[in-house]
Amino acid sequence: MNKKVLIVGGVAGGASAAARLRRLDENLDIIMFEKGQYISFANCGLPYYIGERIKEREKLLVQTPEAMKERFNIDVRVNSEVVSIDSKNKKVTVYSKDKGEYNENYDYLILSPGASPLKPPIEGINRQKNIYIKNCTRYR
């Protein structure tokens, strides 16, 4: 029976880990969960998107779930959030907008959920019109 790897997070770290694992072992069952609707987007391009030098959000998308399945045979589940981890029994609970709540067992677990923007403690920062953005779905 194939070993199963679950990856929590489908942007830079999670998508890179999934692709690398597939290159190392063609027999792994790899499932990647992303709570948003997009995976593997170019975070470094967000300032250009906000500044409207990049007009279309789709130009920030590096991979799609369909492309990851076709190219790497990775089961990508978007709009799916891992809400709890039971490391003793090696299972996670997932909440999917499409399927509701369910459990998924694993042999290995990779956590790459990303981070939230930090508002630095700078005097007067609240007087400015600042935008704090995590990904390409939070703007426009």
44 is catalytic: yes
Domain residues of the chain, as ranges? Answer: 4-127
Contacts of 83 (CB under 8 A, 6+ apart): 93, 94, 95, 101
pTM of the model: 0.79
Residue 128: which pLDDT band, with cuts at 50, 70 and 90? low
Q: Assess contact for 42 and 63: CB atoms under 8 A.
A: no
Among the listed residues 1, 24, 44, 122, the single catalytic one is 44
Query: Considering the chain, what is the average pLDDT of its residues?
Result: 86
13 backbone dihedrals φ, ψ, rounded to 5°: -65, -45
Fold that domain 4-127 belongs to in CATH: FAD/NAD(P)-binding domain (3.50.50)
CB 41 within 8 A of CB 60: yes
- Mean pLDDT throughout 26-48? 83
68-114 confidence digits (pLDDT tens): 999 999 999 999 999 999 999 999 999 999 999 999 999 999 999 98
What's the whole-number mean pLDDT along residues 24-38?
Answer: 94
Gap between the Cα atoms of 76 and 69, Å rounded:
7
Q: Is the pLDDT confidence value at 56 over 90? A: no
Cβ-based neighbour number of residue 128 at 10 Å: 8
